[in-house]
Chains A and B, each alone.
Chain A
Amino acid sequence: MVSRVTDDYRDMAAAGCVAICEPAFWAGFDRSSAQGFHDYFRQISEYEPRRAAKFGLAHFCWLCINPKESENVKLAEEVLAIIPQFVDRPTVLGLGEIGLNKNSRNELKVLEMHIDLAAKHDLLILAHTPHLEDKRKGTQLTISALQNNRRIRPERVIIDHVEEHTIEMVLNAGFWAGMTLYPGTKCTSSRAVDMIETYGAGRLWMNSACDWGDSVPLAIPYAALEMRKRGHSAEQIDGLIYHNPKNFLSQCPKFKLPQS
Chain B
Amino acid sequence: MTKQEILDLSFLDARHKLIEIAAFLDRVGRAEGGADFRLKAFRAALGELTGTETGLAKKVLLVFSDPTSEPIPAATTKTACGAWPGEKQSSL
Q: Give me the interface of A with B, judged by CB distance under 8 Å.
A: 68, 71, 101-108, 130-137, 140-141, 163-165, 190-191, 194, 229-231
Contact of B62 among A131, A132, A136, A229 (CB under 8 A): A136
Interface size band for B: 20 to 34
Minimal Cβ-Cβ distance residue in A for B65: A136
A199 to chain B, nearest CB (A): 12
A-chain residues with CB within 8 Å of residue B75 when the two chains form the complex: 71, 101-104, 106-107
Residues of B within 8 A of A (CB): 1, 9-10, 55, 57-58, 61-62, 64-69, 71-84
Other-chain contact of A230, B9, B65, B72 (Cβ < 8 Å)? B9
Determine which of A104, A190, A230 lies in contact with B71 in the assembled complex, contact meaning CB atoms within 8 Å: A104
In the complex, which residues of chain A have a beta carbon less than 8 angstroms from the beta carbon of B57?
A: 163-164, 191, 194
Bound-state CA distance A104–B65 (Å) is 16
* 8 Å CB contact of A133 from B1, B10, B80: B80
CB contacts (< 8 Å) of A231 on chain B: these are 1
From A130, A164, A229, contact of B80 by CB (8 A) = A130
Q: Chain B: which residue is nearest A194 at the CB level?
A: B57
- CB pair A133–B81 under 8 Å, yes or no, is yes
B84 touches A133 (CB 8 A): yes
Name the residue on B nearest A104 (C-beta).
B75
Interchain nearest-CB distance for B13 vs A (Å): 8
Q: Across the interface, do B71 and A136 meet the contact criterion of CB distance under 8 Å?
A: no
Contact A165 B71 (CB under 8 A): no
List 9 A-B pairs, Cβ < 8 Å: A101-B78, A105-B72, A135-B61, A135-B65, A137-B65, A137-B68, A141-B69, A163-B57, A165-B58
Residues of B within 8 A of A104 (CB): 71-75
CA distance A108 to B73 in the complex (A): 11
Given contacts A71-B74, A104-B74, whether A133 and B69 have CB atoms under 8 Å apart is no
Given A136-B62, A163-B61, A164-B58, also A105-B73 (CB < 8 A): yes
User: How many angstroms between the C-alpha atoms of A230 and B68 in the bound complex?
Assistant: 38
Given contacts A105-B74, A133-B66, 16 further A-B contacts (CB under 8 A): A101-B78, A102-B72, A102-B80, A103-B72, A103-B75, A104-B75, A108-B71, A131-B80, A136-B61, A136-B66, A163-B57, A164-B55, A165-B58, A165-B62, A230-B1, A230-B9
